[in-house]
Structure 1
Amino acid sequence: MDTDRISTRLATLTREHLVPGAQLAVHHEGRTWTHEVGLAADAAVPIGSITKTFTAAVAMALVSDGDLELDAPLSDHLPGVAAGELTLRHLLSHTGGLPSDPEDVRTTSLRHHVRQALRELHPLHEPGAGFSYSNIGYSLIGHLIEVTTGMSWSEAVEAVLLRPLGVRARFITSPDADVVAGHAVNAATGRVVPVTQSLTPVDAPAGALAVSAADLVAFGRMLGGAAPHIMSPEDLALMREPVRHAEPFGMADGWGLGLALFQRDGVRWVGHDGTADGTSCHLRINPADGTSVALTTNGSSGWGLWRELVPELVDAGLPVADYDGMSGLHHRIAPPPDCTGRFRNGDVEYAVRAVDRERLALTVDGEPFADLSLFDGLVFAMRDSDTGDTNQTGRFLRDPGDGGIRWIQIGGRLARRQAAKVS
């Protein structure tokens, strides 16, 4: 692994993407190497949704201890919760059919929050029938952990995982949390503005942790099989195995129990990505050889930095895997008429309209989001309305019964078509 080349390229990409600071940590061939640009090595960066993998690891430790069951109805553990056929396996793999988030959060109690959401949110599909990325699903896992352990979610994460791991994480929902500030980056104007973290306490199990890249690598090594062993080898292996019907199109090549799956040259890597307010962070693990790679950035443009860094790492002798939805786009097609319309995921509305014979425009809750170019298989490339980036993809999905377009999937989230309004 050519660390000099990696250091030079990371510094260059950090400048080019206007990212104020970045940490890169790598464990490879028995040693750990770190490099920082504009941040201290031990600075805690809000890691957003990578928190979900920490929550999943705690839940799987409880499964190994016999305190939770993967396939038991949630009502077995949470009496009085209207969860239908939902199980912990569904929640961990985002196959429960739950929307992403409720918009109207009226409580600071995790218990009240998830029970209210289950009463009011409309499922996207039957449990186990598909994949839709869900933050509320991980809030529900957090509540399950609280009920099972008798501790708060943060106390359980600290006791079950962080302390054995030797990681000093910060919880960004704590008023005195010492965390790195995120930054909103406008590449067109060159403006970089500090932003504050806005996550609510009830969303904490889905995104409230802040750690360094070195901390993430230590966590990644554990998920690859190194000590500490907080769960059985069999349950750890389950986290890294693909779940049936978990198709996270636009995010990863597959999904396990709390871990995304990625492929490179026939080798399976696992990990997770996360964005908080003004941060972008990434974790990859190769269980076959124990390699663990983590990047943390405190700029909203860090995602683009990561996408450019991955091939540089490969050329430097570190063949890390990432998802590339653009590689499968071949034949451009004209959009069918039933691509247009309104689609809903929980309280979020996606609206698609035709711009001309070849392009569609997507708005989210009435705000311009992206221009869409359609390809074979109803897959589309997205041109971001704010940044102009064109490296993300989504797709439309047809109803297997009547053949009509029923869903749109963006960033792994499904949105169901809504009936046309009657004037």
Structure 2
Amino acid sequence: MVLEGTARALLRRVAGEQVEARVPSLVAAVLRDGETVWSGTRGEVDGAPPGPGTQYRIGSITKSMVATVVMRLRDEGLLDLNDPLDKHLPGTPVGEVTVAQLLAHTGGLTAEPPGPWWERTPGVDPATLTAALDGAAAKHRPGRRHHYSNVGFALLGEVVARHRGVPWDLALREEVLEPLGMRDTTTRPRAPHATGYAVHPWADVLLPEPEHDAAAMAPAGQLWSTLPDLSRWAGFLARGDRSVLASATLAEMREPATVDDGDAWTGGYGLGIQLLRHRGRRLAGHGGSMPGFLALVWADPADGTGVAFMANTTSGLRPALGTDLLDILDAHEPVIPGPWRPAACDTGLLELTGPWYWGPAPYVLRLRSGRELSLGPAGGHGRASRFASREDGTWVGLEGYYAGETLRVVRRPDGTVSHLDVNTFVFTREPYDPAAPVPGGVEESGWR
């Protein structure tokens, strides 16, 4: 748990937001190391403060959960992210769009389905939705840009249903919600739950918002949840759970597939997960907005810190509330680094460590735990990557420019190390070592 002063500062921020944004009720939680360390509420639901069992609609946070099931299908070999939609859901006018593009909102699909505003009207079944799509469903060339699409996740929900043989929400419950202990997350509200309201812009009065079963559009934003359940989801995004998803797969979902603010790159999107860079943190999560409700989850996998909040208002709540709560936690109780300890490494690889040169540029190769290597510029600027060992004696890049590329240690006939070959880039022990096979050769007269 947090210290008393930290708790007061967090509650003050939540209380101020509830008053200034005129929110009927607001619940929030902060996590550290993947576990809830503080939670607070303001306002009322049916005349009393909301409790831990009070449900709120979480809107598009649903998308991240649906995406998790899609990635499970991928890991099981039932689909490939490069598969066109037509392979798994034939007959749509956007069949050439890939599964990955749907997950990352880069398929160019229209944001909303045809017909009246789907969030405030009863939904239609998947067959009716698919039949209503036409040539106008494609707004941009697939892969060209980030264009948020609720329709895309409706289609992904149907892909899940066809592979699992049950509705998408039943597959989600069995494969994700139950293993994570999220038993109070449901497709329709159950008591006790908050009523969604619109707050009049110029008077302190409320208007109840309608709530319907979105049917085919449900995978885009149907779910209701509680603060403890949403905190469990934040913890999963931060720390993972191998019973739900392989760690590498969750990390893949958190990788930026596209950015939504151009060169600034403060916000982006992975595979079903929104991304935000904030004060040195790279946060993963999602926001949710439905008539009468707003919700948000952010998690930092680097240290397990996270935040979740929900409110029953259509608009007015500031998204910065989430990062403000994280900033308060960092300011009042900064993370104290754990002690350094020696790692279990393959000491037979020590001969590879130390300085290497790509042409005249100095790099440093370090040995990490096990047989993992890291290669990066000595000055901190340039291409860097970690490399995992393979059974054939080579290493594969895990990130950055060298992700997926091969590092080979090339030895002389006597067994000593000659140079490193990283996908044709030759790294030598001396700048442009004439004894190494530097591409293009080395000027015979040498340095002058």
Equivalent of residue 260 in structure 2, options 247, 267, 270: 247
How many percent of aligned residue pairs carry the same amino acid?
A: 31
Alpha-carbon distance in 1 for matches of 2:286, 2:109: 20
Equivalent of residue 222 in structure 1, options 236, 247, 257: 236
Alpha-carbon distance in 1 for matches of 2:31, 2:58: 19
Amino acid aligned to 2:223: L
Match of 2:417 in 1: none
Equivalent of residue 78 in structure 2, options 46, 67, 92: 67
Match of 2:22 in 1: 18
Alpha-carbon distance in 1 for matches of 2:265, 2:61: 13
Amino acid aligned to 1:168: R
For residues 212-262 of structure 1, give each alpha carbon's deviation from its aligned partner in whole angstroms, at most 9, with x where no partner exists.
122112112112233253222222111100114x43579961110011111
- Residue 138 of structure 2 is aligned to residue 123 of structure 1: yes
Match of 1:317 in 2: 330
- Residue 122 of structure 2 is aligned to residue 111 of structure 1: no
Alpha-carbon distance in 2 for matches of 1:127, 1:30: 36
Alpha-carbon distance in 2 for matches of 1:299, 1:12: 15
Shifted more, 45-54 versus 197-206: the winner is: 197-206
Which of 1 and 2 has higher RCO (CA within 8 Å, sep 6+)?
1
Q: Tell whether the 8 Å contact from 1:198 to 1:277 is kept in structure 2 after alignment.
A: no
The alignment covers a number of residue pairs equal to 315
Structure 1's 157 and 130: CA in aligned 2 closer, same or farther, altered over 3 A? Answer: same
Structure 1's 247 and 80: CA in aligned 2 closer, same or farther, altered over 3 A? Answer: same
Structure 1's 59 and 253: CA in aligned 2 closer, same or farther, altered over 3 A? Answer: same
Structure 1's 259 and 84: CA in aligned 2 closer, same or farther, altered over 3 A? Answer: same
Structure 1's 72 and 301: CA in aligned 2 closer, same or farther, altered over 3 A? Answer: closer
Equivalent of residue 8 in structure 2, options 4, 7, 10: 4
- Residue 236 of structure 2 is aligned to residue 236 of structure 1: no
Match of 2:378 in 1: none
Q: Given the two structures, how large is their TM-score scaled by the length of structure 1?
A: 0.68
Three-state SS of the structure 1 residue aligned to 2:249 is helix
Three-state SS of the structure 2 residue aligned to 1:201 is coil
Three-state SS of the structure 2 residue aligned to 1:269 is strand
Equivalent of residue 56 in structure 1, options 64, 67, 71: 67
Structure 1's 152 and 132: CA in aligned 2 closer, same or farther, altered over 3 A? Answer: same
Q: Given the two structures, how large is their TM-score scaled by the length of structure 2?
A: 0.65
Alpha-carbon distance in 1 for matches of 2:235, 2:155: 27
Alpha-carbon distance in 2 for matches of 1:280, 1:252: 21
Shift of 1:108: 2.4
Q: Tell whether the 8 Å contact from 1:169 to 1:209 is kept in structure 2 after alignment.
A: no
For residues 200-222 of structure 1, give each alpha carbon's deviation from its aligned partner in whole angstroms, at most 9, with x where no partner exists.
21210000001012211211211
Q: Tell whether the 8 Å contact from 2:30 to 2:326 is kept in structure 1 after alignment.
A: no
Structure 1's 307 and 209: CA in aligned 2 closer, same or farther, altered over 3 A? Answer: same
Three-state SS of the structure 2 residue aligned to 1:104 is coil
Alpha-carbon distance in 1 for matches of 2:331, 2:78: 39
For residues 154-187 of structure 1, give each alpha carbon's deviation from its aligned partner in whole angstroms, at most 9, with x where no partner exists.
111111111111112444557x676321111124
Amino acid aligned to 2:163: T
Match of 1:391 in 2: none
Amino acid aligned to 2:310: T
Structure 1's 131 and 168: CA in aligned 2 closer, same or farther, altered over 3 A? Answer: same
Three-state SS of the structure 1 residue aligned to 2:216 is helix
Amino acid aligned to 1:104: G
Alpha-carbon distance in 2 for matches of 1:202, 1:177: 24
Match of 2:150 in 1: 135
Equivalent of residue 268 in structure 1, options 282, 288, 298: 282
Match of 1:144 in 2: 159
Q: Tell whether the 8 Å contact from 2:306 to 2:326 is kept in structure 1 after alignment.
A: no
- Residue 113 of structure 2 is aligned to residue 99 of structure 1: no
Shift of 1:42: 1.7
Structure (1 or 2) with the larger CA radius of gyration = 2
Match of 1:350 in 2: none
Shifted more, 281-290 versus 197-206: the winner is: 197-206
- Residue 170 of structure 2 is aligned to residue 155 of structure 1: yes
Shifted more, 75-84 versus 188-197: the winner is: 75-84
- Residue 301 of structure 2 is aligned to residue 296 of structure 1: no
For residues 328-356 of structure 1, give each alpha carbon's deviation from its aligned partner in whole angstroms, at most 9, with x where no partner exists.
xxxxxxxxxxxxxxxxxxxxxxxxxxxxx
Q: Tell whether the 8 Å contact from 2:64 to 2:286 is kept in structure 1 after alignment.
A: yes
Shift of 1:269: 0.7
Amino acid aligned to 2:20: E
Structure 1's 153 and 290: CA in aligned 2 closer, same or farther, altered over 3 A? Answer: same
Which residues of 2 match residues 333-348 of structure 1 at below 5 A? none
Which residues of 2 match residues 269-288 of structure 1 at below 5 A? 269-288=283-302
Shift of 1:15: 2.2
Shift of 1:25: 1.4
Gaps of at least 5 residues in structure 1 are 320-423
Match of 1:183 in 2: 197
Match of 2:41 in 1: 36
